[in-house]
Amino acid sequence: MRAAQTSLSSMELHNEQNEENETMSMKKTALALSMIALGTAALAHSGVTNKDVMARMMVMSTISDQMKLIGSMAKGEADFDAEAVNSALIEIAAQSAQIPSMFETKALDPKSEALPSIWTEFDSFTQRARETEAVAERLAGTVTGPDDLGPVLHQVGETCKSCHSTFRK
Ligand code: HEC
């Protein structure tokens, strides 16, 4: 059971990783475009025109960057740094606290992956954001060794998945 859960959460991480690759190529395209257009700030999500949608995607990207930072240490690609992990968890909690207000306006964009049920079940949506916040906050300061990273990724990752599987395309 435990093994199954761990592989689920690493799948989630893997999904986010694919999105990162996509984001990277979008960034490159956007960079090229912005050089032609003499620079707008819209590097990460070039196709998105709605500013509320852009803002909430940036919150998600920031959260995801923190998960990747922890993930790179878990995979041994980066040196273990307890302080950096704990700051990342604090950042995840702080960004998650903003999720409900970021989604309060029913903003739509063809590039958005947000499902309309967010706005018909906003309490449930908010509840899931609070869960990410609470778990990240509880784990911040508890990481002392590399062995803590897997469980941290698993526990936080489950809360991402809980929201994404319900409220994201
Ligand atoms: C309360 C719900 C909720 C929680 C919790 C949540 N997300 Fe999201 N996330 C969304 C929704 C909805 C979208 C789609 C937004 C859109 O496209 O308009 C999204 C989009 C994303 C994206 C894509 C952003 C982009 O640039 O298009 C990433 C990456 C992401 N989430 C990572 C995470 C990670 C990692 C966590 C957990 C640490 C997490 N999310 C927690 C609801 C949530």
Taking the model in full, what pTM does it have?
A: 0.79
Distances in Å between the Cα of 1 and the Cα atoms of 4, 8, 75, 131 are 5, 11, 22, 22
Residue extents of the structural domains in the chain: 49-167
Q: Could you report the per-residue pLDDT of 120-169, keeping only the tens digit for each? A: 999 999 999 999 999 999 999 999 999 999 999 999 999 999 999 999 99
Q: What residue type is 149 in one-letter code?
A: L
Say how many CA atoms lie within 13 Å of 150 toward its Cβ.
Answer: 10
Report the run of H or E that residue 126 belongs to, with start and end. Answer: helix 122-139
Q: Could you report the per-residue pLDDT of 76-114, keeping only the tens digit for each? A: 999 999 999 999 999 999 999 999 999 999 999 989 999
CA of 141 to the centre of ligand 1 (A): 24
12, two tokens? 């989630």
Ligand 1 atom showing the smallest separation from residue 61 Cα:
29
Measured between its terminal Cα atoms, the distance across the chain in Å is 27
- Cα–Cα distance between 77 and 98 in angstroms, integer? 30
- Per-residue model confidence (pLDDT) at position 22: 58
DSSP conformation class of 145: S
- Per-residue model confidence (pLDDT) at position 4: 46
Return the SS3 of 40: coil
CB of 66 within 6 A of ligand 1: the answer is no
Q: Are 109 and 48 a contacting pair, CB within 8 Å?
A: yes
95, two tokens? 């960004």
Q: What is the CATH number of domain 49-167?
A: 1.20.120.10
CB of 12 within 6 A of ligand 1: the answer is no
